[in-house]
Amino acid sequence: MKKTELTAEEAKTLIDRVGPSLGCGDFTYEPVFPEGRIDVCAVRRMAENGSDYGFDTIYLVWKEPDGLLKHEEIKNSRSTKDYIHIESVVINKDGSVSVSFGSGGSFSGVPWSESMKVAINSGKADVSKETPISYAVQAKRAMMKVVENHQHNHPLYKPTVVKEHIIDEERKVVAFILFEQIDTDRCSEHSDGWLGDQFRYSLWKMNGGNDPTQLYEDHAYIRRSKSELTGTRGRDCSLKDLRIEGDTIKVIRFKGEQAEEQEPEEILFNMAVSNF
């Protein structure tokens, strides 16, 4: 059956109309067509507010034999704010379309890649995730899901990110440190507040194909300068210098109740248990 031609301009015009807009920096990129097909393509739409929030959306656009344009959203980064780039668009033997895309982890802290399979039947699209091509890809998807599930939307909060991660593909083990902001008593971007910002650092592990599990967490308020109320900047609850040595996860935290007097100490966790 002869395919109905879909032009790049038609695809962009459609996504300009139906895609999200935040008023500043909105942009639809050039479509990516699969080799040998002229009726289907993948399109990236960027929406930004010009100050502190933006996200990308990936669409599949196709033209029906009767000339009707159709589209289906297959991925967005509303929760993480990561920029997404389209890596490839491929037609499978069964006629379905595989769209591969990824990100450098611009905001989430986790470089990731993913592939969606889209089967088009009678004007409708059935979208499903394709099996990861490696354990590293699977692990990064799992970490991204944790990031997405721990977002806290507030204009004064820092974004949730993975600060450090280790993937041992040979043994299929993963460890990572998640950073979140969970509270603030500041009233503006430039103020300090009485206590400042409350941050949470948590340590996670993943074995094989299991979902990530949390091993440890700490949270505390901290300021840029000493508080007149408490006489201290607060407490630094950060975790850093993540390592896996044998079956032991090692990480540095700061011991003490005041940032001015805290000293680093190493804490240990066994990959097989949930405490130390």
pLDDT tens figures, 71-104: 999 999 999 999 999 999 999 989 999 999 999 9
**E-state strands within 122-247:** 124-129, 161-168, 173-184, 197-207, 213-222, 240-245
Residue 162's SS3 state is strand
Higher pLDDT residue, 189 or 160?
160
Mean pLDDT of the region 119-132: 84
Listing from the earlier edge strand, what are the strands of the sheet with 173-184?
161-168, 173-184, 197-207, 213-222
Please name which of 63, 57, 136 lies closest in space to residue 99, comparing C-alpha atoms. Answer: 57
Task: Choose among 253, 177, 186: nearest CA to 222.
Answer: 186
pLDDT at position 213? 96
**pLDDT, tens only, 211-236:** 999 999 999 999 999 998 889 999 99
Question: No. of H helices and E strands in the chain?
Answer: 2, 15
Chain length of the chain: 276
pLDDT, mean of residues 12-20? 96
Residue 2 has pLDDT above 80, yes or no: no
Both tokens of 56, joined, read 């990308």
Provide mean pLDDT across the span 9-38: 94
